[in-house]
Amino acid sequence: MPGASTNGHTRALRSDARNHGAGQLRLAIVGSVDDGKSTLIGRLLFDSKQIFQDQLEHVEETSRRRGDGYVNLALLTDGLRAEREQGITIDVAHRYFATPRRRFVIADTPGHIQYTRNMVTGASTADVAVILIDARKGVVEQTRRHAYITSLVGVRHLVVCVNKMDLVGYDEAAFEAVAADFRETATKLDIPDITLIPVSALNGDNVVDRSQNMPWYEGPPLLYHLEHVHVASDRNLHDIRFPVQYVIRPMSDEYHDYRGYAGQLASGVLHQGDEVVVLPAGLHTRVKMLDTYDGELAEAFPPQSVTVLLDDDLDVSRGDMLVGAGDQPQTARRLEATICWMSEQPLVTRGRYVVRHTTREVRAIVDEVAHKIDMYSLRPDADATQLGLNDIGTVRLRLSGPLVVDDYRRNRETGSFIVIDEATNATVGAGMITGTGNS
């Protein structure tokens, strides 16, 4: 196919990965009901001049109709009618905005306990999570639940915004009390970078601009912190993982010898000439070409979609994975995983499901529910025998065929999977791999 040395997307990815974390930041906003998540996002958009005049006029008119008595910036994100009527967030709403320093993708995740599964979905791809805490209520059970899930899904940077500081008179002691309580909770979490900021999303204190009402706070406002937090080193650029999604065989005379394997690079940096292994078969070969619609590439970065051509004519199909010869993952028929259960029908021992991992599907049997997490104490309950809706626990699975996996802490993409109900084809769980039967 027509070739070119590289393209703009590859250069942008390389710059993002190597140049101090600038580029796109995926951000999850989490917290309990009425802690002000949607208002905070609205304030970020408004104060950073990211909304159009007609949007503002619509929000002003809707606020008047509702009798809010102020411009309700939460309406910028509460897009569903049910959300607007109830004043809550029940779905994961995504918003996009940019500053001269960085591009942002914001996931506004739900706070209600019955929508924990939505929160897991929103946080699972985030680089940074922002947890809001009402300064009057302090750390509550949902705060602990959300902090635990944030740690569980591998978010390495957490910003705790103690919100509604205007309702406690911008009192430093009130902030410090909440901060101390959260730090105690954080000792049970695996999050290396935690920052606490006192804010008033309603009035804009310490959101985009520094607050004049809290001179005792010496740190940066939220937006400045988000613009400068370093996330490039969090990405796995070492372990080459390329799940094959589709085999391309053009039916034309011009490309009759063309056989490419299309997919999205999950991790690592893939170059022409790299030695790779096709798993689970274990066949060794080299990368002949990296092809895209825009032409040939010398190297590819995650999460770029490319077509890989190999030196050797091998039997490779959807569900196989190309990996680096020197950094191979495990091939497993048994998994130990932390699962967030998303179905009203509980997960039970001997239950039969389908596990979808990258581009491969296998059937699975639940051998054991090892324990369930008590969301208040964050301790495991070893007496649990099943997982109900929104429960989180450790489960051991036996698979009908091999999966090529990594530990979730090492690689989010190849360390995660979804659980599907065989009968309804509905997604009923999300899993993070913590071990295999090979360990």
pTM, entire model: 0.77
pLDDT of residue 75: 56
Closest to 302 (Cα-Cα) out of 25, 61, 14: 14
User: In degrees, to the nearest 5, what angle opens at C-alpha 180 toward C-alphas 174 and 185?
Assistant: 130
Q: Any residues with CB less than 8 A from the CB of 72 and at least 6 apart, and which?
A: 39, 42, 59, 62, 63, 66
Residue 190: CB atoms within 10 Å: 13
280 three-state secondary structure: coil
Instruction: Return the exposure string of 264-282: e unless at least 16 CB atoms fall within 10 Å of the residue's CB, then b.
Output: bbbbbbbebebebbbbbee
- Domains (range + CATH), the chain: 22-229 (3.40.50.300), 236-324 (2.40.30.10), 330-436 (2.40.30.10)
55-109 tens-digit pLDDT:
555 555 665 666 665 555 555 555 444 444 444 333 455 678 888 899 998 887 7
193-230 tens-digit pLDDT:
999 999 998 899 999 999 999 999 999 999 999 999 99
359-396 tens-digit pLDDT:
999 999 999 999 998 876 778 888 888 999 888 999 99
CB 200, CB 164: distance < 8 Å: yes
In whole numbers, what is the pLDDT of the chain averaged over residues?
83
